[in-house]
A and B are shown apart, each in its own frame.
Chain A
């Protein structure tokens, strides 16, 4: 009989009784404290239930509202009773009613027998804790908290603010260095009795009665005064989520809990029958005397907290709909938008798909239908090619497409003939790689078989739309990776920009681009622009194309006159 358990219970008393019985049956005395707010009937039932069991005592009841002194008073009373009634106890283990032993009691006893003078209590100075919720660290010890945090939140917050503004400070008793830590500890008789029988106890109690959440600081602070051998960790596996609530364990955590090698876990869902059955059964498999190793469980819960606070980038769904600038990734993955390339080069999409090894769509925002790669009518995630559905919410359309195709880079064409509503979103999205050859829309017009009056009108319309688009791309809060060339610049030296873009899309392919896309015939294009000017329209976006001086790409190998090197 070297370890005794103090249990603080407030709900699921039947489960608490079951665990108490288990410990008592394995020779460990148990002192049970039941919250005073529990009604008489359930309490009496528990008492009756445990009546015949030797080595189980009930201690004086205190009202234990979360974050108040009652919890400490209850612990003090129960611990005193334990020390008094069971002189053989060397370690006192503080547990709750929703704790569950994961390893046979004998293993815990053996573990503590090997460390007879060690106090297991998490005890960290206020500067070093990262887990306090609400930003109250040292202020827990220096302010007053007369209002309930649960029921009078506004008063609580207001009073804290007031004290901060007035620079109010309580004096911390001499010799005390505030420490915080998990409230579930395991202390030796020597340490515990030194705390409880200290001549300064009245003063300490008076001070801690007005400290915020004293159950996380009373023993944690005082143990530093009296113990020579503090091991600052809790033997109880207990994880907290981002709001400071304990995570709950269910039946499906069985294997994780088994492998954790921890002695006690909290908090267990009262109806987790399988957990209680397994861990309280007599034939719990003997394990090697391993040190507790909750790594896997830590990771599981850390991931849950991350999911709750940061979420998955680029996901918009029923329970994640971030405000602007809080997206933490407006889209799920990088993608490329090409404007003018398909006009200037023949079969640009096929070429790009081959060279960069990505999915290349046509004009996703074409006015009549969505031009998915390969002419599909329905695409990944069952996205429809209907322009109506797309234009109903273009932003949802694009983020869905990028989300649905995670793992495969998407490229698509864009142009002044497309529905432009998505443009501001593209410009703001850091995942967008936007490359524009301005004025390239004139090339198909130049080749078009249409009356010049219509061509002129069309050119004026396209130029206006593209100019607006370029204005957006040159705006102040553009986050996309934007590259803009005029048609004249690009035709002069097409290979270098193409190489840059390809390198960015697939950085791992170290090969130089050898095969270039085939450029459209531009003979007479300068004259075409001059004709537009003569008709009263001023083409400005394509750069400087002197009439009659056709751009002549460097003549390359014979027989492939339009191949660009």
Chain B
């Protein structure tokens, strides 16, 4: 990498940081309990809109992993999400009516909260339908992982998105508040992912899974990206560039080994496809606030209208992280 590229990326990083700094004015605190954050706390940052149904399980899941404090940006919910979050003792909430799209799909807001509150902390950045699974997550808390990463001088931890879906049409098994969405959507595609290296940012570009299989057969280049780096030992000079797919400085994107070995990695179980999805897709279509002119949602809507069943006879039923490791979707690396 030449000096010129380095400098260009440095400018890009500064630009994203300045942008995030300016977007801070869009956030109005609802409840701020940030003074309770202790130096060693694990943080979680998330942007939500009308996710009341999902939140109880989401909070429970990450509390069980050992997250100490949650930082939420509420993008103008009207279903009581904001009020619900404000009641939680380990949650700080900001709200905004500004455009999700013009905040680069929430990432400017997230960058700001990270810059302001997560400096020196391990931070998880996920959506409310994403559930982090990492090696030994059934026996070791998240803190064990971050301690190990610290000891190994690793600053970012990758977790590929794994789209989960139910068997049969998604509208068939309704989701109840507080329920584990993986009770309903526990099937996934085990081996139809494609990956290429992004030469400028160094991250891997992973696509595939049920969404590509069902909706993007003719336009595979438009299939959603599945590579994510949701767990980072944050420094205030870092910035997420595009969702949590890639970061700057680019060294944080080198979460894969290029010399034949396997680094440690996890998976983000993406329980998007439950019965709340159809309504969500419609709403997002109307708001036109999503990536690439909501192309993704348009494709879903067309697909959903026909026969919304992702399941096929080669779908795998989710059991635990060890299964994902054996299938080669994640790896323990040298953690044992």
Contacts and interface: CB of A to CB of B under 8 A. Distances in A.
Decide whether A and B are members of one complex: yes
B258 A319 contact: no
Contacts of B216: 389
B212 interface: yes
Say what secondary structure dominates the interface of chain B: loop
A320 B213 CA distance: 23
B331 A317 contact: yes
B29 interface: no
A74 to B, nearest CB: 21
Contacts of B336: 247, 300-301, 303-304
Contact of A311 (B141, B195, B220, B260): B260
A319 B265 contact: yes
A378 interface: yes
A122 to B, nearest CB: 22
A382 B314 contact: yes
A167 interface: no
Contact of B213 (A309, A389, A397): A389
Which residue, B190, B194, B265, has most C-beta atoms of chain A within 10 A?
B194
B151 A309 contact: no
Nearest to A324: B258
A80 interface: no
Contacts of B212: 384, 389
A307 B258 contact: no
A201 to B, nearest CB: 34
A321 B256 contact: yes
Contact of A310 (B147, B197, B258, B261): B261
A378 B140 contact: no
Given A303-B336, A308-B262, A318-B330, A378 B147 contact: no
A14 B139 CA distance: 23
Contact of B143 (A271, A328, A382): A271
B263 to A, nearest CB: 4
Interface in B209-257: 210, 212-213, 216-221, 227, 255-257
B315 interface: yes
Question: Range of interface residues on chain B?
Answer: 35 or more
B333 interface: yes
B128 interface: no
B196 interface: yes
Given A319-B331, A321-B258, A250 B195 contact: no
Contacts of B262: 307-308, 311-312, 315, 317, 319-320
B158 to A, nearest CB: 5
Interface stretch (A237-245, A415-423, A516-524): A237-245
A269 B328 contact: no
Contacts of B328: 312, 315, 317, 403
A392 B158 contact: no
B65 to A, nearest CB: 13
A396 to B, nearest CB: 4
A315 B325 CA distance: 11
B192 interface: yes
B38 interface: no
B193 A311 contact: no
B151 A396 contact: no
A396 B261 contact: no
B315 A382 contact: yes
Contact of B334 (A242, A321, A323, A404): A242
A327 interface: yes
Question: Range of interface residues on chain A?
Answer: 35 or more
Contacts of A378: 213, 312-314
B299 interface: no
B264 interface: yes
Given A304-B335, A308-B262, A321 B144 contact: no
B299 to A, nearest CB: 13
Given A318-B204, A320-B331, A382-B315, A326 B191 contact: no
Contacts of A396: 193-195, 208
Contacts of B152: 243, 245
A317 B330 contact: yes
B204 A381 contact: no
B120 to A, nearest CB: 17
B136 interface: yes
A323 B258 contact: yes
Contact of A382 (B194, B259, B312): B312
B225 to A, nearest CB: 12
Contacts of A300: 336
A307 B216 CA distance: 34
B194 A393 contact: yes
A386 interface: yes
Contacts of A200: none
A320 B217 contact: no
A322 B192 contact: no
A370 to B, nearest CB: 11
Nearest to A304: B336
Interface in B179-215: 189-197, 204, 206-208, 210, 212-213
Interface in A289-315: 300-301, 303-305, 307-312, 315
A389 B220 contact: yes
A320 B147 CA distance: 22
Contacts of B313: 378
B101 interface: no
A252 interface: yes
B261 A308 contact: yes
B224 to A, nearest CB: 14
11 contacts: A251-B139, A271-B141, A311-B261, A317-B265, A323-B258, A378-B312, A378-B314, A386-B213, A386-B218, A389-B194, A396-B194
Interface of A: 241-243, 245, 247-248, 250-252, 269, 271, 300-301, 303-305, 307-312, 315-323, 326-328, 378-384, 386, 388-389, 392-393, 396-397, 400, 403-404
Given A303-B336, A311-B257, A323-B258, 8 more contacts: A301-B336, A308-B263, A312-B262, A317-B329, A318-B256, A320-B261, A384-B192, A384-B217
| The 6 nearest A-B residue pairs measured at CB | A381-B191, A308-B334, A386-B217, A319-B265, A304-B336, A396-B194
